[in-house]
Amino acid sequence: MPSLRVNPAAAALCALLLASVQLQPARAATPGDADYRTLNRALVANHVIVRQQALAERTATLAQAAGAWCAQPGDDTRATLDTAWRSATDAWQSIQHVRFGPIELYMRGMRMAFWPDPRDNVGRQLDQLMDGRDPTALTPERFARQSIAVQGFPALERLLANTAPDAPAPASGGAERCAIIQAITANIAAIAHDTLADWQQGEASFSAVVAAAGQPGAHYQDPREATLDFFKSLHTAVELVADHKLARPLGDQIANARPQLAESWRSGRSLDHIRTNLAAAEALYLGEGGPGFGWLAGEVGGDTALDALLRKAFAQTRASADAIRLPLEQAVADPAERPRVEKLAREATALKALLTQRLTVATGIPVGFNALDGD
């Protein structure tokens, strides 16, 4: 990357983050099973369930809005649809990092959001659906078995971001487009509903599975295994931002910026998603109405210095994301704005290193995993 003029305070923080990952202080205390159980219960109730409920509610609203627009096209119904689409997308971005449990069933996560898509599977599969040769392909049962590339938010973005504000006439493909939009939104709503139900309902719910960690014959042999899955979720949220959502469109220099590799470049909401991802990661660390990983590292593990550093790192990284003044798709190729994106990328990378090399030690989490592979 070219040399950049960087705010001294921000540069100092980056240096502190990068240097700190080399330090491996001994833990003041080792969390025990009771501590892991306390954290797991809190994260299920206050992080996962709350966000899954929001996703289920907002995707149901989205499906209703799509049906209303297709039944009565107009500016009002389209505005309602756009609002519902953005709200549902935000809800997904706030929980997409939780990749274990019910979301793993039936490839639900990939069906909700097939991205990255380097081979343009979404575009090719949508073209096949748009030809309208098989009208039964859009029934709920058949559509749930279509290519995962067309079942979720990336395909929906193409249809909505590339559609004029007023509904297109049937002669221009409007009827086919509306049918696909309705099929996607109904599918998204069904996945969100089923995922929430599997977390909540009955003795076999995944909430009960997490709570039973360590019992004979349980899914998790000990509570720390469940905590590891939550740690992977925390790491995934930051890793997605650093290694994919920023690195892909940035390229190695401004001449090689690739705006169309941003996650949601068609709608111009890629930076909004990054901000939501970082906020969700910070919430998982700080806790929401109960303990988070900061509690496990600082209060239980005794590494209060690391806890303070991570709190500062999350706050600084989020502030850097908020400081970017253009949509990401424009900022990566803008000489004045690109340094802000590069700064955010450095801070996200440093934050990821802190999580893997320091937080794992303070919380007794085993290292040597690939969070995005779910290993």
Q: For 224-248, write each residue's pLDDT tens digit.
A: 999 999 999 999 999 999 999 999 9
pLDDT digits (tens, 9 = 90+) for 252-286: 999 999 999 999 999 999 999 999 999 999 999 99
Handedness of CA 194, 129, 244, 373 (dihedral sign): positive
79-102: average pLDDT: 98
> Which tokens sit at 129?
């659906």
Mean pLDDT for all residues in the chain: 90
Assess contact for 268 and 157: CB atoms under 8 A.
Answer: no
- The letter for the amino acid at 220 is Y
- Euclidean distance between CA atoms 49 and 106, whole angstroms: 20
Q: Which two tokens stand for residue 166?
A: 């007023």
- DSSP annotation of 43 reads H
CB of 327 within 8 A of CB of 271? yes
Q: Which of the pair, 18 or 313, is modelled with greater confidence?
A: 313
The Cα 342–Cα 1 span in angstroms is 9
Residue 58: pLDDT above 50? yes
What's the pLDDT tens digit per position in 299-344? 999 999 999 999 999 999 999 999 999 999 999 999 999 999 999 9
Average pLDDT over residues 178-199: 97
Q: What torsion, rounded to 10 degrees, do the Cα atoms 49, 54, 55, 57 define?
A: 120
Question: CA-based diameter of the chain, in Å?
Answer: 70
Residue 174 has pLDDT above 50, yes or no: yes
Domains of the chain (ranges plus CATH)?
Answer: 42-208 (1.20.1420.20), 222-366 (1.20.1420.20)
Report the share of the chain in percent with pLDDT over 90. 82
Distances (CA, A) of 96 to 78, 220, 243, 265, 267: 26, 22, 16, 19, 19
More confident residue, 212 or 29: 212
Question: What is the average per-residue pLDDT within 110-115?
Answer: 97
Where is average pLDDT lowest: 77-91, 103-117, 173-187, 225-239? 173-187
Percent of the chain that is helix, strand, coil (3-state, to 5): 70, 0, 30
Tokens standing for residue 243: 């290694």
DSSP state letters, 81-136: HHHHHHHHHHHHHTTTT--SGGGGGGGHHHHH-----TT-HHHHHHHHHHT-S-GG
* Model pLDDT, residue 7: 53
Given a cut of 70, whether residue 70 has pLDDT beyond it is yes
